[in-house]
Structure 1
Amino acid sequence: MAAAMGDPGLSKLQFAPFSSALDVGFWHELTQKKLNEYRLDEAPKDIKGYYYNGDSAGLPARLTLEFSAFDMSAPTPAHCCPAVGTLYNTNTLESFKTADKKLLLDQAANEIWESIKSGAALENPVLLNKFLLLTFAIQALERAYDDLCRTEGVTALPYFLIKYDESTVLVSLLKHYSDFFRGQRTKVTIGVYDPCNLAQYPGWPLRNFLVLAAHRWSSSFQSVEVLCFRDRTMQGAREVAHSIIFEVKLPEMAFSPDCPKAVGWEKNQKGGMGPRMVNLSDCMDPKRLAESSVDLNLKLMCWRLVPTLDLDKVVSVKCLLLGAGTLGCNVARTLMGWGVRHITFVDNAKISYSNPVRQPLYEFEDCLGGGKPKALAAADRLQKIFPGVNARGYNMSIPMPGHPVSFSSLTLEQARRDVEQLEQLIESHDVIFLLMDTRESRWLPTVIAASKRKLVINAALGFDTFVVMRHGLKKPKQQGAGDLCPSHPVTSADLLGSSLFANIPGYKLGCYFCNDVVAPGDSTRDRTLDQQCTVSRPGLAVIAGALAVELMVSVLQHPEGGYAIASSSDDRMSEPPTSLGLVPHQVSDWDVKLQCRT
């Protein structure tokens, strides 16, 4: 479009195209945008890159896109020119292959053409190709150019106007061309910030600027003098001597009202017009890849299945797992599947030879030498599975009713320290899971968690039975003398006033001990081995552990959180209170069997 025409004495002007430089951060940010924001949206997106002319001689001019490309208000790096573009991101390979590239190019060309005809490109020259324009290489020009940049509050300008003689140099913005060149009928000089390193050719940013000049100024000037300003820092000193200047005749074809033919698709490495492939395998940290990939299933759930799912409430929750046995291992794995990043284990047992086949966080080597402490080994294994998880383990005992300290291996001082440590751990976590072997070991954590108004999820196993429940969350200053349980404000009047399956407010829900008339005691004394251990069908812990986590996630999705009204079986045909369905008080094997029979 800017070639000289009709004069055999003039050589044809050629241009050096850009070479795209897409930073690894750009691909990472695009991945996050696709998963979290764009999802199935194929609408075009505005993006911003930049170019500069500081590369070494012989290198192609680069148009750079990095992680900030999606923030249109992000500042442009110093001494760089902005370039605004459009991202067309398809959902399928077929859509990518069948995209009408000529149509997209013509649409972009028409937008530039309209900005030229309307004069918008004079007010905002970035509409041409969004690159900075600087003036020719003289110290006076440098000072004039720098002064103009400071006046406009920018670090560089993609295009500008120049007037000079033997002693002075003046520069101005494009929109002032009428006043700046008033009375001048011969030659005018324009400057372009040029990223090209070739000695005889200008870079791509000059192309559309020449079209603007031909359309807007050809009635006054038949040719323009072009300064390709190459302002670089070499060995610590500013160097502009490699800038080039030449004259361009404005072609008659620029007077046509139709948009000129558009070109510009970048060729691939083979010189063809196919897509360019980028291999990022050596550039990406595996831990960083895992961080962005582990939540893929959750983010895909938000696309169509559960668009209202609030993942932040789940990912940010801090979970304390009291018990690192069969239930604890399965709960921890399910929590990680839900994206939970903060998991803490408490257990005082060591890994035995019978554990690894039922407890998926342990291996045979963990049993050797007397066995590793379960809590520490479980935390270590979680971090090996996913390094991004914040997992900790505490090898400590929980004092229990019916188990006097004097009869155990604990000293009174150690028991006191364990209670203080337990209270601190419950205080610093959001959800407490009770996953221990015995009933009495759940008593002290229940009382402490209730006093601190922490959500408690309890899971208990029998041979082929289980119960998963959430403890009620009492409101401040609500506990009274008529409470059935010292942990919760549930009175006999509350229970008599509502049936067993009625909807009960979350602050009136009972705990694991509320409906039990037998005080917790030593459930293992004078018992045979099968009565001391929790003997369960092997698959039961997997089911109960998964339901415990699902119950926690459902509570977190409810607007009232732990104070959510307990859903009952009568609510199954009504609108569910959360995006994940009902939020019951408890789930037992009876509920599962009933569902299967139904």
Structure 2
Amino acid sequence: MSSNLVQFVPFSSAVEAPFWHTLSTRKIDLYKLDDAPQNILGYYSVGYSLRSQHATEANITMPARLYLGTGAFDTNTTLPPFTYPSPGAIKNTNTIEEFKTLDKTALFKGTAEQIWQDIISGAAVKDPYLLTRFILVTFADLKKYKYYYWFGFPALLTEPPWIIVNNEVKGVDEVWDSTEKIVGFADPSSLPTNPGWPLRNLLALLKRHWNVNKIKVICYREIPSKKDISNSRILTVEIPDTTVIPAVGWEKNLLGKLGPRTVDLAHMMDPINEGHDISIPMPGHPITSESQVKADVEKLIQLIESHDVIFLLMDSRESRWLPTLLGASMRKLVINAALGFDTYVVMRHGVKDDSECQTTGSSDKAMPPVKQLGCYFCNDVVAPTDSLKDRTLDQQCTVTRPGLSAIASAYAVELMVSVLHHEKGPAAPADTNAEPTSYSDFSSSSPLGIIPHQMRGFLTHFNNMIVVGQAYERCTACSEAVLNEYKTNGFEFLKRAFNSPACLEEVTGLTKLHQESEVADDFDWDEEDTEL
């Protein structure tokens, strides 16, 4: 016979980003300067290892994680499937200095004493999850959205320590016919010979409450949702007469040393870092600093290139011109939402379909190519110019009905989702059947229903109108003439358009069209030609 000391796999913390967001909100709105410990609820899952796809490589062992999720502050929350609760407490300090100088030993000792008292009183027999109590000390720097934290997972020490008899690991299928005493626990460890942290306090409970000296332990492990328990293990553990001494269990940092960890969520939570502060150059607004305008244009090009969908939610018509041109040039999905006082328009800009023909429904019959849908500027016969000069706020569409922006924004997002579910994506043709009597009436090939081109809403009548508009060959934003000019001359072309919108009318042929219209208006009709 041989024996080894039982070596336990400690917990490793895994804190989800929404936990820090909730902590920030509660700190500001609820706790304020109150730094008393607050109850929280973590959870863990059983350990397992994944088989490598390469026969020459070892299996991949998953770490023993203790998670804090979105519902950690609600101790009655429903946990994710295949997980087990772990009650804890969080002490959030008010300053970084307090976090550093706090008597963490006293906090840790207090948590360990709670575990021991639960063992003595028998509370842990009724609720074994009390054996996995933990303590979390934090400081939330809400100016920089940086969080300092240190987990303690108290595990009772004994003298002499527990040992594994025979140092033999058996499979679960070999133990069911045994007449020996058996205890099982959800084991977060995935190592073959090392049980997880919760067993440590469970053995203390077995010794104190039932005076167990030797027992078979089922380290239950299951691959989630696959009913595969082949990773489970059986250990025969000897529990000598012991004396409980102070607990251990402070988590090590990323350097493997005892110390706190930090997480910087400024990129996710800081309003300054969730966006880019740039000015969008506009036709009719002459350039005052060419270097600054060029930098803004380059930044906007970079942003549009690196994203799949562009929402245009500006306050003026002309501010939408450059993103519209860039979106058309890069064949991006551009969705526009524009507001009036009690009206709105939500539309997607057309993207040319490169396929030679299109089919509809389940029929294999080829249909003629559908003309490209129009953009925000395709109904215009003049170039965009300064629409803000000498206009009041309501004329600038800055004053709207209270629910208008929320309605238009929601439609814009839903339109995006519907387009992305279509097999042609941004090039999807427009649907017009806006009032189906049942879900089966949807003629669109999108699983979510119809995909309109434009929705024009009227809060005066609480009504929407579905509109389809085709691309205009003389459009000042998406026509081939404009796109070719931009492709050829780049920023020099943009600079001319910013300084003088008339150049857009010249490039697209609108200037000639206006001249021809004026000639037609000035035509003198002969009296005889007008007689009936």
Structure with more of its chain in helix, by fraction: 1
- Identify the TM-score tier after normalising by the shorter chain: 0.3 to 0.5
Higher Cα Rg: structure 1 or 2?
A: 1
Structure with more of its chain in strand, by fraction: 2
